Homo-oligomer: A and B are copies of this chain.
Amino acid sequence: MKSDLTHLDEKKRPKMVDVGVKEETERIAVASGIIEVTPEAFEAVKNETTKKGAVLHTAVIAAIMGAKRTPDLIPMCHPLLLTSINCDVEELPNLPGFKLIVTCKLKGRTGVEMEALTGVSIGLLTIYDMLKAIDKGMVIKNIQLERKSGGKSGDFVR
């Protein structure tokens, strides 16, 4: 079995892979993740949601800003020029918890799934931060790629 660890050179040193040979195409990635909270914390956000939505709103802004910081945070990620970042939040009353979905777009030479996943992670951490005085047992889970298109390796749908 040959595994293609593309971020390591022949001496097993990390490298930022050469994408200069790739074509500029329209690339889209959608990632999602969930934060599971107590019923008390869920209600606190929901009540506040019906008024001003400050917790979820702050999370969305943090997700957008976090997605833009991806190449500063993930060592082998290329700097790139996201053309669009979009977030959605779903209430999951049965868990209870919240699902954050981040969509990133680019006209460029490399995929944007890391940007979408980083946005999701930072957004969920922001919800965690704003609820931690109420709930210390929260769990962030199921951070995953939902779908991806535009790359040479073909489209992906979970």
Shortest Cβ gap from A44 to chain B (Å): 3
Which residue of B11, B40, B81 contacts A79 across the interface (Cβ within 8 Å)?
B81
Q: Please, which residues of chain B bring their CB within 8 A of the CB of A66?
A: 73
Taking chain A's interface residues, is the majority helix, strand, or loop, or is none over half, making it mixed?
A: mixed
Q: Please, which residues of chain B bring their CB within 8 A of the CB of A140?
A: 33, 117, 121, 141-144
Docked-complex contact B144 and A139, CB < 8 angstroms: yes
Docked-complex contact B148 and A136, CB < 8 angstroms: yes
* Number of copies of chain A assembled together: 6
Docked-complex contact A64 and B14, CB < 8 angstroms: yes
Docked-complex contact A78 and B71, CB < 8 angstroms: no
Which residues of A does B touch, CB under 8 Å? 1, 3-9, 11-20, 26, 33, 40-41, 43-44, 47-48, 51-55, 57-58, 60-62, 64-66, 68-69, 71-89, 105-109, 113-114, 117-118, 121-122, 124-126, 128-134, 136-145, 148, 156, 158
